[in-house]
Amino acid sequence: MHSSTPYTIWIVIAFVAIVIAVVIYSAIAQKKRTAALTALAPILGFSFEGESWTDPTRAPRLQTALFNRGHSRRCKNILSGSFAGLPTSIFDYWYTTGGGKSSHTWSQTVVAFSIDRWLPLFELRPESFVDRIGDVFTHKDIHFPSNPEFSQRYLLRGPEEEKIREAFAPGLLGFLEQLPADRKWHIEADGYTFLLYRSSKLVDPDVIRDFLEETSSIAKTFLSCCGLKNQAKQP
């Protein structure tokens, strides 16, 4: 019995050392990321805002599904400016689900475009097997019999189903079906805020420009195919 005690102590020491090493590595990596994004901001013509928008009027409306998940939510490395003619914010966003040993922290780079088209609150994301099972009981997923591929691939939901159906015109459904499935885009909107991100994917600073080009192209095509008529943004 007693002979195993030293081994137990060494196991505990090793575990604590690993945890400390991971924490230190993560802190160094985050510091390097912040430094890289700070340097990148003026190259893109953006302002580096840090963890909050210096001008609250430029902050996107963060009321969509992503910002209602989990707890310990926070934004970091906010860059704000304009890209492809759209007022734009790009930032890292963290939230945690669960607690204790079962907790998991999700981190993703989010692009928020300010648009001149009002859109109903909605969430569009890849549909999982669990989503399909859940929909049997909740019936919240909005399906389009005319586009079974879209309905099988995506989960689409929001409180104003009639407006959402109007927005997701046949041309828009076809466009979304053509997006690469492996990119697993999440698209959310609320009023004049349009969001795109890939769940649990932080974008490397070296490819932020490419990410902005890809997301702005998706946003513009989405709006051009949208079934809702153009509506000027209200002050």
Q: Which of 1-15, 155-169, 175-189 shows the lowest mean pLDDT across its residues? A: 1-15
CA distances from 108 to 10, 62, 92 (A): 36, 15, 6
Instruction: Report whether pLDDT(15) > 70.
Output: no
pLDDT digits (tens, 9 = 90+) for 57-68: 889 989 999 999
Average pLDDT along the chain: 90
Q: Which of 6-20, 77-91, 155-169, 198-212 shows the lowest mean pLDDT across its residues? A: 6-20
pLDDT band at 235 (very low <50, low <70, confident <90, very high): very low
pLDDT at 5: 73
Q: Which residues of 190-201 are buried (b: 16+ CB within 10 A; e: fewer)?
A: bbbbbbbbbeee
> Residue 227, SS3?
coil
pLDDT at 186: 98
Per-residue HEC secondary structure of 95-156 comes to EEECCHHHCEEEEEEEEEEEEEEEEEEEEEEECCHHHHHHHHHHCCCCCCCCCHHHHHHEEE
pLDDT band at 193 (very low <50, low <70, confident <90, very high): very high
Pick 100 or 170 by higher pLDDT.
Answer: 170
* pLDDT > 70: percent of the chain: 86
Q: Which residues of 48-76 are buried (b: 16+ CB within 10 A; e: fewer)?
A: bbeeebeeeebbbebebbbbeebeeeebb
pLDDT digits (tens, 9 = 90+) for 73-109: 999 999 999 999 999 999 999 999 998 878 999 999 9
pLDDT digits (tens, 9 = 90+) for 110-135: 999 999 999 999 999 999 767 767 66
Q: Which of 52-61, 158-167, 209-218 shows the lowest mean pLDDT across its residues? A: 52-61
pLDDT band at 232 (very low <50, low <70, confident <90, very high): low
Give the whole-angstrom CA distance, residue 184 versus residue 198: 6
Give the whole-angstrom CA distance, residue 43 versus residue 209: 10
Alpha carbon of residue 65 to chain centroid: 9
